[in-house]
């Protein structure tokens, strides 16, 4: 019994050291312990080494992405500038098309780099998402306002449940009482805009994208419904994957990170995102945020 207690105490001490990050195999002499203690010691030492290796890899990735972002800013800015100057010259129709393709490629590359930086920082805990009690309509208003020009360029009707948001009515807001949830306004706005941008991107001209808000006991639900091409049933489980794009979307601009980032942001706020779709009948992306207690009336700025 005494040996058993001694063994448990030793194992308990080893686990405490491992949890505290101070475990070292040299602290334990195999001659003094049983085979179980020796195996536990080796296991914990291997775990510590794997953790250190993972942390070093994460540091290298962060450094690499930061360097890429820094080193590409000037070349990309120059490409954009020179392409704009080139387009102002007396060029043939074919040459103008080529200049336009260069500009689009530079824009896509810049977006990809920025998305990579955000993804890396989010996954490595550099970006801090701090959910607090906030008005969901403030997030929706801001995200919809960002999407208006994109929708207008394709003659797509971008509307809200309580009324139309048009390019001439950017200051329109949702009618009715505020709806509160746990959210980070800045990042949740980016997440919702990514979803709206995706809806606009894959909706044909003269289509529509509708944003609605519904309040439930446990969650506030934000739906983004479009009349786009829809998503195949086999592709639905993949839409939130990083860098995943459907073969049917090959002709559309995008790099496949917008929905991934949106999901990660909403998860960090304690919520979740789901998608429902039928091919040629459009899609509905639903954001669920935890319902929060309403602040006092004096704190409501709406």
Q: Per CATH, is 132-299 categorized as 3.40.190.10?
A: no
Once rounded to an integer, what is the mean pLDDT over residues 3-19?
A: 70
Q: How confident is the model at residue 257 (pLDDT cuts 50, 70, 90)?
A: confident
How crowded is residue 264: how many other Cβ atoms within 10 Å of its Cβ?
21
Residue 214 forms beta bridges with which residues? 221
The contacts of residue 72 (CB under 8 Å, 6+ apart) are 109, 110, 113
Residue 74: DSSP 8-state: H
Beta partners for residue 282, in sequence order:
278
Residue with the bigger pLDDT between 249 and 197: it is 197
| pLDDT band at residue 27 using 50, 70 and 90 as cut-offs | low
Residue owning tokens 């602040």: 295
What b/e string do you get for 226-261 counting C-beta neighbours within 10 Å, with b at 16 or more?
bbbbbbeeebeeebbebeebbeebeeeebebbbbbb
pLDDT score at 292: 87
pTM value is 0.66
58 CB-side CA count, 13 A: 14
Residue 28 scores a pLDDT above 60: no
Tens-digit pLDDT profile for residues 52-102? 887 777 677 767 777 777 787 788 888 888 888 888 888 888 888 888 889
The 10s digit of each residue's pLDDT in 275-294 is 999 888 899 999 999 998 76
Q: What is the DSSP string of 95-149?
A: HHHHHHHHHHHHHHHHHHHHHHHHHHHHHTT-SPP--EEEEHHHHHHHHHHHHHH
Across the chain, mean pLDDT equals 79
């Amino acid at each position: 019994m005494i040996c058993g207690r001694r063994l448990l105490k030793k194992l308990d001490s080893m686990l405490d050291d491992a949890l505290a990050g101070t475990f070292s195999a040299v602290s334990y002499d195999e001659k003094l312990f049983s085979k179980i203690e020796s195996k536990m010691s080796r296991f914990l030492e291997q775990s510590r080494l794997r953790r250190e290796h993972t942390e070093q890899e994460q540091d290298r990735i962060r450094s690499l992405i930061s360097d890429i972002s820094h080193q590409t800013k000037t070349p990309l800015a120059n490409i954009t500038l020179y392409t704009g100057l080139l387009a102002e010259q007396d060029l043939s129709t074919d040459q103008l098309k080529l200049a336009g393709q260069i500009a689009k490629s530079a824009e896509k590359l810049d977006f990809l780099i920025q998305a990579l930086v955000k993804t890396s920082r989010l996954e490595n805990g550099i970006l801090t998402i701090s959910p607090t009690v906030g008005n969901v309509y403030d997030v929706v208003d801001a995200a919809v306002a960002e999407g208006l020009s994109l929708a207008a360029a394709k003659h797509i009707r971008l509307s809200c449940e309580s009324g139309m948001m048009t390019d001439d009515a950017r200051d329109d807001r949702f009618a009715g009482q505020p709806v509160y949830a746990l959210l980070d306004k800045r990042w949740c706005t980016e997440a919702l805009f990514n979803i709206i941008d995706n809806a606009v991107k894959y909706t044909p001209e003269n289509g529509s994208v509708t944003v609605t808000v519904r309040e439930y006991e446990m969650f506030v639900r934000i739906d983004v419904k479009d009349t786009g091409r829809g998503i195949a049933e086999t592709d639905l489980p993949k839409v939130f994957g990083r860098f995943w794009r459907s073969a049917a979307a090959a002709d559309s601009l995008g790099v496949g990170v917008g929905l991934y980032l949106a999901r990660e942001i909403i998860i960090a706020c304690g919520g979740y995102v789901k998608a429902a779709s039928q091919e040629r009948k459009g899609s509905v992306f639903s954001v669920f945020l935890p319902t929060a207690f309403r602040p006092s009336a004096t704190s409501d700025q709406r």
